[in-house]
Structure 1
């Protein structure tokens, strides 16, 4: 039986002063978040969630076991928080000392009491009216270190906010937003540096990954995702196409402390579809890049889709794990790509271990031993259009997967959808869309759109099980050590499944979808909670206290 939801309404427009503390004066100063806590991730303390993926490996796997397959159907809402803003969540909340830190659409952010859902403070960015953000006025979360929270903005800034009050500690400009630059990803904080990237591949930008001193905001290094003259890879661009070649970064990467490497997926080359002006592989677009966290120098790269003409990007979430492959221990990075292939790579050197389709792919049937796709004919978009699978949204996208280290299974929400891709020659104008084409989803009786939660063995690439949705889901995932997977469907249901079998155990209609968001879980006052951002609402769930 569903219990009554206690609605905690905090309308964003009621805050008269940007970043003003509503009840902050009543709160004890938050303890400083240490670098060791970030390194520990979820293993040492189940009462917190301090990074986008729960830990630097981006596994989104909680060691908590109080909520189980046997009792998950007893979950009931504890409170809800309504943002009162336009647009939807695409965020991962952070939790520390029983306070939730949440970013929302249009660069509004909140501190929320995790016990009651009461707003502690609210911050709202004054955004310019002429933004050129590609794909929604979204933000994907905070980073944190010490007493500061870090947030990227749609007008291409990086902010540091005081954890107690929401006041701005520092504000730096990443790039000129009028040229098409924006930033939407959750910062990753590593060794005192705040790691961020820029979006804007549809506007002819030149992508980059930056590191900033967490205390001062001073830039430590910049890595351009498109090599300039004299740099390795520059010859994969023809003429001056590198100057506006895209390859943005808008999804948070992973970090290996032992190797001191950052792992980030890069976006599409520009223009997206018409590629005559950018002959070559177009490095480092549609790639996974491994970057030295101290220097910003590239150590290795793996390009998933050389010379991409379908706007597939490689801006999915990289997940790190240590696996036994052929009896040998291997440090790997797992990556379900928008192009429809699942990859296991050696994260020490970028060498391909495994690549296998996890959805239907018509552009390439296999990845050859040299790591390059074996291309199929008649898959280049033109003015008349060519049908290709997967569609522009891809076999998956930016919504996070999860990995269970006990079962050694990788879980991803997959899509089986095809599209008609078109291409035409574009004219570049600074700050305007520079795509050179379009894509339209193919419909019809023999073109049913299918969505499924799939469990993949990262050693073999084989599918262990799947749970099929009525239509494709864009929800991120959370797994727990008790054998649960939390997901959402396109009809607005929160789902709990058995992670060993894919059996549906419980569902609840939330009234909005989890588009790009994932649940988090944590202990609070002796009970395990699950927090779900969906639409413009946060809902905290728990099993009733005895």
Structure 2
């Protein structure tokens, strides 16, 4: 029979139970009698929960009305749900169904996963399994040995396991039913090389895909696939070519080891093409490119990789020779749709540089691009054939400072967009803001935090967030919703077949908008910051909308349902 320990902590080899057990069982040493008590107690608790089957690739690919089984909702990263119980006609009746505070949290960025009535949610170096009906803790795992602390954006599910990445670049496989460690593999070194990580991994074809942060200190980026069974590395793709490899000539002799192009946002996957689409970050130093002369491949790009081998099929670079810190880290959304009279496999992307792109994802061919912000002053447009930005002279960082739009935070960022198949619209939270960019020709020193200076807010220009709905094949604006607040926080989106778009605004509200018109239908003040993307799921016939705030998890349901 399956067991669900309530709480697991400790070193890489030691586990301890700390809650829902007799006080004598708390502490780092777990005696046999306490383990017996744990098993007895949790067998009773587990009996009240729905039995969970193994999660398969077919389920992830197809998505599920009731579940949310991968970071983007499905492999195509639509962040869309077919649930309709909550809809435009009754969304005003939403009330909190449950709230769960996460101890020690100060900036939750997690996208929870939900499968068979259990929610899996992360904080820094820890995972919670919760009853998705009420938020009660089923088990809790904390990697409290990790010295590096950074936000974490979620887990991956595969079979009967939960996979999450620690801040110091360990991929940890946990038993989905009790949180026990199955294996723990380091895929990059924090202590020796300064790598760290924050992304949610992606489970594909028996492999767990991981990436790294650290590009702001010069660490060379990569995407790696580890065996879901053993944690052994299957393949690795470096986002900066080694000397002599194709693309290395775009760095002007700058050493690959310290060139950046990190991979800190979760990719998307097309099973028919057997292709993974992974976004890459900025080159290093962020704001000074005098030493790294050239386009700096494959920074600020999407790389299309063979899922079996990791070999590069094609790439598209959004911002060549980036000196603005505009990682291409907004999610790649995959849609099969007619484009100019021809059915094509498309890739939609709203880039941090302020341009919206449509690519043919079979070939990487540029099909269309245009600005999706009102003030974009670093380029006049995109080349109609290649999609390369047509740069405006003197719109790069300078020693004395240069006002450039968009800001360092970008027109978009890692917070997820969504695609609604019924409205046919692409939804993205957008920042209208400019910065004063400065640059320094100082000799770059890796792993010191040197970035070649940066960007500062323009006085009296705080910026404004908008949730924008775009016609995806043209980039034309269908509608926009101006968000209140000081333009500090940033949330993602989720769309539903109930005709709704949910997001968080800068004043701490969860908001529901009409997906067709952008009309504000409902909002709820949660009293804290929001840095995450909402999801929706259903358990026992009841639909919930859920979002993580800085310190808490909020789940909402219809009043008449929640009151039963």
Same fold judged by TM-score > 0.5?
A: yes
2:280 aligned with 1:266: yes
- The secondary structure found in structure 2 opposite 1:277 is coil
Residue 502 of structure 1: aligned partner: 518
Cα separation, partners in 2 of 1:256 and 1:18, compared to 1, 3 Å: farther
**Would you say the 8 A contact 1:11–1:83 is kept in 2?**
no
TM-score under structure 1 normalisation? 0.93
Gaps of at least 5 residues in structure 1 are 1-9
* 164, 176, 180: which one aligns with 1:163: 176
Verify the 8 A CA contact 1:180 1:432 in the aligned structure 2: no
Are the counterparts in 1 of residues 503 and 511 from structure 2 also a CA contact under 8 Å? Answer: yes
Matches within 5 A, 1:226-237: 226-237=240-251
Q: Using the alignment, how far apart are the partners of 1:11 and 1:292 within structure 2?
A: 37
SS in 1 for 2:257: helix
In the TM superposition, residue 31 of structure 1 has moved relative to its aligned partner by 2.1
Change beyond 3 A, Cα 1:11–1:82: farther
SS of 1:278's equivalent in the other structure is: coil
Aligned to 1:176: 189
Name the residue aligned to 1:512.
528
Once the two structures are superposed, what CA deviation does each residue of 1:464-504 show, in whole Å capped at 9, x if it has no partner?
00011124351110100121000111110110000000000
1:188 corresponds, among 196, 202, 211, to 202
| SS in structure 2 at match of 1:38 | helix
Contact 2:334 2:346 in 1 (8 A): yes
Q: Which residue of 2 aligns with 1:526?
A: 541
Q: Does 1:153 align with 2:131?
A: no
Contact 2:195 2:212 in 1 (8 A): yes
Look up the match of 2:156.
143
Secondary structure at the residue paired with 1:84?
Answer: coil
> Hey, what does 1:535 align to over in structure 2?
550
- Aligned runs of 1:315-394 on 2, under 5 Å? 315-359=329-373, 360-369=375-384, 370-394=386-410
Q: What is the CA–CA distance in structure 2 between the aligned matches of 1:200 and 1:91, rounded to whole Å? A: 19
- Look up the match of 2:93: 74
The answer to whether the aligner puts 1:111 opposite 2:129 as a matched pair is yes
Could you tell me which residue of structure 1 aligns to residue 23 of structure 2?
A: none
Q: Distance in 2 between matches of 1:316 and 1:460?
A: 18
Secondary structure in 2 matching 1:202? helix
Residue from 399, 417, 422 that aligns with 1:406: 422
Q: Pick closer, same or farther for the CA change 1:498–1:168 going to 2, 3 Å.
A: same
Which residue in 2 is equivalent to 1:275? 289
Contact kept, 8 Å, 2:444 with 2:452, in 1: the verdict is no
State the alpha-carbon separation in 2 of the partners of residues 31 and 519 from structure 1: 25
Q: 1:247 aligns with which of 261, 272, 295?
A: 261
User: By how many angstroms is 1:87 displaced?
Assistant: 2.2
Instruction: Quote the Cα distance in structure 2 between the aligned partners of 1:61 and 1:27.
Output: 30
Tell me, in whole angstroms, the C-alpha distance in 1 between the residues paired with 2:446 and 2:378.
31
Cα 1:382–1:79 shift into 2, 3 Å:
same
CA contact (8 A) 1:270 1:434 kept: no
* Aligned equivalents of 1:486, 1:387: Cα separation in 2: 33
The answer to which of 269-278 and 109-118 deviates more is 109-118
Q: CA RMSD in A?
A: 2.0
Q: Which secondary structure does the structure 1 equivalent of 2:84 belong to?
A: coil
What is the aligned partner in structure 2 of residue 6 from structure 1? none
Does structure 2 retain, via aligned residues, the 8 Å contact 1:415–1:449? yes
Q: CA deviation at 1:439?
A: 1.0
- Structure 2: tracts of 5 or more residues without a match: 1-6, 10-16, 20-25
**SS at the partner of 1:423?**
coil
SS of match in other structure, 2:419: strand
Structure 1 residues 309-354: Cα deviation after superposition (integer angstroms, max 9, x where no partner): 0001101111110121111111111101110111111100111111
CA contact (8 A) 2:183 2:231 kept: yes
Deviation of residue 41 (structure 1)? 1.3
Larger mean Cα displacement after TM superposition, 468-477 or 177-186: 468-477
C-alpha contact (below 8 Å) 1:410/1:458 kept by paired residues: yes
State whether structure 2 residue 327 is matched by structure 1 residue 313: yes
The residue that corresponds to 1:4 in the other structure is none
Question: What SS does structure 2 have at the residue aligned with 1:276?
Answer: coil
